[in-house]
Structure 1
Amino acid sequence: MMTPLVSIIMPGYNKARFLPAALESLQAQTCRDWELVFVDDCSTDNTASIAERYSAADNRIRVLANSRNRGANHCRNRGLEAAAGEYLLFMDADDLLAPACLENRLNYLKAHPELNAAVFTMAVFDQEIGDRERKWVPSAAEPLKSFLAHELPWQTMQPIWRTADMRLAGGFDESFPRLQDVELHTRMLMDNQLTIGQVSGEPDCFLRIGEERMNFSPYNFLSRWVQSALLYYAKFYEPARRKGLDRLLLGTIFHAYMQLLIYYKRGRLTRQEFSELEARLLDRSILQGLKTGKSILFRLLKSYNLLPARIPGINKTLNLLIKS
């Protein structure tokens, strides 16, 4: 096989149900000059054997296997190390690409050599493309501020990167069990030497959001979210403070707390589980640094969201006040 133009990095853990569709969306690309580096993270189903079967029939698909479960971030970094393409993008094993995705992205970056990366529109779906209306259109006026405030302008699959830039940045931070793409994109945007373009248009990639794709219980899922929210706050507090943007980081704490409240209200967390996660998230080192008014706002957020009924717009207002 000749050196490919673009590498797709795909981690996989127990995705046997979804993997064939993801691989076939790659094989349907109008651009043929690609490679897939698939990294199996010790799946306990037949994910690895499915990947090997496709690899045997298509030499553009390479399969790597971890000796023990290391998490998606490690898989992505291992794929990054092995990638041979000049360009790359990250894709999960349950997501899909539109047929012209790679061709259009490559043409755009080739036409804009001043860019280190470009971000494209993504749609979400549950069972099949088109069953949800939500789209992520990259159009943030100030993407760094948006990420710090957890008003996320794009997701893992939307950018195409120059491989050399991603390697220079060191790839993903493996200490983050969640929010790994948020951390990566924030870090890349903090680097004033990088230029990332945003391209609005029709979706060229599709994010699966059905809960059957989750490999964790609600408690474990939210525990990872809380851990990552605190890591994110601590990692970017000083860099954000130097830019006068540290107040925006409370948006990440706000959104993690909202998830705890939603899951608890729906009966998917026990009272003990909720109380434990709440105590971890609303860490004293964070709350003690806040003005009294903002600490009160977090208490109001809890009281309001556990009411039987809510008024539209109140949470948005509380979020804005917390970050102000």
Structure 2
Amino acid sequence: MSVSIIMPMFNSGHYIKEAIQSIISQSYLDWELLVVDDCSEDDSANVVTEIVSDEPRIKLITLSSNGGAAVARNTGIRASKGRYVAFLDSDDRWDHDKLEKQVKFMEERKLAFSHTGFRRVDSQTGITLSEYLPPEELTYKDMLYANQVGCLAAMFDTKFTGRIEMPEIRKRQDYAMWLKILREVGSVSGLQEILASYTVRNDSISSNKISLLKYNYSVFRDCEGFNAPKSFYYLLANTYSRIKRGRS
């Protein structure tokens, strides 16, 4: 198994079928999808169960209690078998050639960690709000000033990183994981193409901007182990960067 795709799921019945279909439709065929149900209260599990009956590459894992996205993703990582690990949330989408292009990009350059460009799409209208093309390379120091890697766009090679897991904080766990990987491998390479769609929802966990400040601070203070002044410095740098880029 070459690519393991991790998808946390919580009350995603309205979106998840399209997210999974974007994986099934990939031009690259050597993948497994691990959908981790974080105690959904809607019909999410039923939707996935129907799809699983016709697609053996998909596995549904059900958690016994709600632990949040980091717990769900780590459960998927531990159950994964692929050399490469990628993430797709249950309301996002991949373009049909995303995996093919990204795996080729990593194999040709022998990369440990990569990401692609993506578009931000309004959940209500389907209109593209903005597009992001990544820099060719980002270092650990670069990423301290701003998280420039989208979770839906990232992929790492377990041959270099092992089956690394996310810190189990409620938000910004992906950012903390990228920093953790970069401390080991040095840099992340950007594939200069837009290959995914990130859904912007007003009801999403990331829409609460005030609470995100606390979790960004936690990334530096608790996950990176910085002292309080240094953590506050990078919190301000991140906040300034997001305001400058006009992102929530």
User: TM-score, with normalisation over the residues of structure 2?
Assistant: 0.86
CA contact under 8 A between 2:12 and 2:90: conserved in structure 1?
Answer: yes
Q: Residue by residue, what CA displacement relative to the aligned partner does 1:79-109 show, whole Å, maximum 9, x if unpaired?
A: 0011111111011000000000111111111
Aligned residue in 2 for 1:92 = 89
Equivalent AA in structure 2 for residue 56 of structure 1:
S
Equivalent AA in structure 2 for residue 105 of structure 1:
Q
SS at match of 1:228: helix
SS at match of 2:65: coil
Among candidates 165, 168, 171, match of residue 171 of structure 1: 165
SS at match of 2:226: helix
Q: Residue by residue, what CA displacement relative to the aligned partner does 1:293-323 show, whole Å, maximum 9, x if unpaired?
A: xxxxxxxxxxxxxxxxxxxxxx75xxxxxxx
Aligned residue in 1 for 2:112 = 116
How many aligned residue pairs are there?
243
Aligned residue in 1 for 2:13 = 16
Among candidates 238, 257, 261, match of residue 226 of structure 2: 238
SS at match of 1:157: helix
Q: Residue by residue, what CA displacement relative to the aligned partner does 1:221-273 show, whole Å, maximum 9, x if unpaired?
A: 457524312312313353999xxx867513267469x9xxxxxxxxxxxxxxx
CA contact under 8 A between 2:140 and 2:186: conserved in structure 1?
Answer: no
* Residue 162 of structure 1 pairs with residue 157 of structure 2: yes
Equivalent AA in structure 2 for residue 49 of structure 1:
N
SS at match of 2:11: coil
Could you tell me how far 1:112 is from its partner in structure 2? Answer: 1.3
SS at match of 1:49: helix
CA contact under 8 A between 2:35 and 2:61: conserved in structure 1?
Answer: yes
Among candidates 197, 201, 204, match of residue 210 of structure 1: 201
Aligned residue in 1 for 2:234 = 249
CA change 1:223–1:68 in 2 (3 A) is: farther
Aligned residue in 2 for 1:197 = 189
SS at match of 1:225: helix
CA change 1:148–1:138 in 2 (3 A) is: same
The structure carrying a bigger helix percent of its residues is 1
Equivalent AA in structure 2 for residue 207 of structure 1:
Y
Q: Which has the larger radius of gyration?
A: 1
Aligned residue in 2 for 1:229 = 216
Equivalent AA in structure 2 for residue 238 of structure 1:
F
CA contact under 8 A between 1:13 and 1:42: conserved in structure 2?
Answer: yes
CA distance in 1, matches of 2:125, 2:114: 23
CA contact under 8 A between 1:129 and 1:206: conserved in structure 2?
Answer: no
The Cα RMSD (Å) is: 2.9
Could you tell me how far 1:144 is from its partner in structure 2? Answer: 2.8
Greater relative CO, 1 or 2 (CA 8 Å, sep 6+):
2
The structure carrying a bigger strand percent of its residues is 2
CA change 1:129–1:61 in 2 (3 A) is: farther
Equivalent AA in structure 1 for residue 150 of structure 2:
Q
Aligned residue in 2 for 1:47 = 44
SS at match of 1:204: strand
Aligned residue in 2 for 1:58 = 55
* Residue 80 of structure 1 pairs with residue 74 of structure 2: no
CA change 1:252–1:37 in 2 (3 A) is: farther
Uncovered stretches (5+) of structure 1, i.e. residues with no partner? 259-314, 317-324
CA contact under 8 A between 1:148 and 1:251: conserved in structure 2?
Answer: no
User: TM-score, with normalisation over the residues of structure 1?
Assistant: 0.67
Aligned residue in 2 for 1:103 = 100
**Identity of paired residues, percent?**
22
CA distance in 1, matches of 2:125, 2:88: 16
CA distance in 2, matches of 1:24, 1:128: 19
* Residue 153 of structure 1 pairs with residue 148 of structure 2: yes
CA contact under 8 A between 1:230 and 1:253: conserved in structure 2?
Answer: no
Equivalent AA in structure 2 for residue 178 of structure 1:
K
CA change 1:237–1:165 in 2 (3 A) is: same
